[in-house]
Structure 1
Amino acid sequence: MARTPIWRSIATTLAAEIAERHYAPGDKLPTESALATRFGVNRHTVRHALAALAEQGVVHARRGAGVFVTQVPTDYPIGKRVRFHQNLSSAGRVPTKRILAMQTRAATRTEGNLLALDEGAEVHVVEELSLADDLPVAIFTSVFPAARLPDLPDHLGAVGSVTEALRRSGVADYTRASTRLKAKLASATQALHLQIREGAPVLFSSSVNVDPDGIPVEFGSTWFAGDRITLTLEGE
């Protein structure tokens, strides 16, 4: 009678413990070394078991951080008023943001057209990494008209919220005028930030936000980790 491979037995044991919520979604599993000691095997055998669980979608590895139980994807409504903090807080997650880069430069032709700018006009470009419960879920790139919002980078650096930074810049309210959604594959840099593998599926969203007078104030592009976010469309 054929014997069950040890790595498969370890994978089955861990999967059962996860199903019984010994480890909850988002929890970090013990290290390879700790699991090797527990099961009396070498780390290569443990690594094989963890790879099998990752293939099944039960766990995922975060580069430099360890192996974590896969979370249930968070619903992220796409409607006229999309607010990152509000969306994730409503889903019971703790939202945080990290600014990756900020610059002021000449608008590209596409940016100029979408923001209704004159040729050669400048824009503020902000790249941010968004996290839910400290797990990266999305990369945002926001483009703002610099002439209208000259102090927006300072406000954004101070408060960390686009909504509040726009309010301090004189835009009391804004709504989403258009949205385009597309499935893509993560680039090497996107995968690094989102802690997923290169080529993993990401959901790409591009949108234009306008003020109450219908004047564009932001052109945004977002790459969502495909296994962590479920985009939902709100009725208007």
Structure 2
Amino acid sequence: MEQDGINLWRQIGETLAEEIGTGTFAPGDRLPPSTDLATRFGVNQHTVLRAISHLQNEGMVRIERGRGTYVADVIPYRLGRRTRFEENLKELNHAPQRTLIAVTDIPSTPAIATHLELAPNELVTQVTVLAIADDIPISINSNFFPRSQLPGIGDAFRVEAARPKPNLATQSVLAALGIADFERRKIRIRGRESTQDEARLLRMPPQENVFEVEVLNVDAEGRPIVFGQSIFCLSRVEFVWDFALGDLS
């Protein structure tokens, strides 16, 4: 009996995978509800959910909490010295958007102080933003700015967020404060389990993993200007390395 159950969910998974592969369900399409699929295949809902879970593990679908199951549409995110989130998405015909979550001044942790070349516990402004592509949450970005160097950065983000059509790109906000150019100096990427808050904000299953990306940006004189920690939903993005960037460190 158990073997029959395994065969059933595998057969359902193979059928759905074939339909995804042939374009019956295109990238970004929402699959029918599990109740409808259970009726279609003549099985119980649990069997369908096992098939969908398998497809998720294979990277073919993504599950958004409270919204449904969608065919995976992985965004290739280019990593270069100056490649920005908005530029990358527009090149791929995706609509970028950012939502401000929080702005707060906090004492720098030892790691942040080291990256930004600050004294221990020196104040930094933490700006946390949710990055979205085509209404799908892609990443949670926490950027840390040296308050002594950029005392007005927090207010600049608050003012921009209050506009009818805000542009919360770090590049744009810094440009308004007189910093016309900056580039990535260091990038560190690692995988880990998501926290409950991360899974909630990214509308992803609690058991799905995330990429944690740390980036140090410097201004035209090579001074650290912002240290960022971004959490990406693993099934929604892949990183494409731009060799012009140089060596990882």
| Structure 1: segments with no counterpart, 5+ residues | none
Instruction: Give the number of equivalent residue pairs.
Output: 234
Preserved contact between residue 63 and residue 205 of structure 2 (Cα < 8 Å): no
SS at match of 1:49: helix
Closer, same or farther in 2 for the Cα pair 1:35/1:156, shift >3 Å?
same
Match of 1:211 in 2: 219
Match of 1:21 among 20, 23, 26: 23
- SS of 1:227's partner is helix
Q: TM-score, normalised by structure 2?
A: 0.82
- Report the CA distance between 1:133 and its aligned residue: 2.2
Q: Where do 1:1-236 residues align within 5 Å?
A: 7-71=9-73, 73-157=74-158, 158=160, 159-234=167-242, 235-236=244-245
Residue 113 of structure 1 aligns to which amino acid in structure 2? T
- Report how far residue 90 of structure 1 moved: 1.8
Per-residue CA deviations over 1:125-169 (Å, capped at 9, x if unaligned) read 012222222222222110001232222223223131211111111
2:172 and 2:105 map into 1 onto residues whose CA distance is 20
Taking structure 1 as the reference length, what is the TM-score of the superposition? 0.86
Percent of aligned pairs with the same residue? 32
For 2:174 and 2:229, the matched residues in 1 are separated by 17
Equivalent position amino acid for 1:19 in 2: G
Q: The residue matched to 1:170 in structure 2 has which SS? A: coil
Secondary structure at the aligned position of 1:54 is classed as helix
Per-residue CA distance 1:77-105 (angstroms, 9 max, x = gap): 22211311112222332222222222112
Corresponding residue SS for 2:100: strand
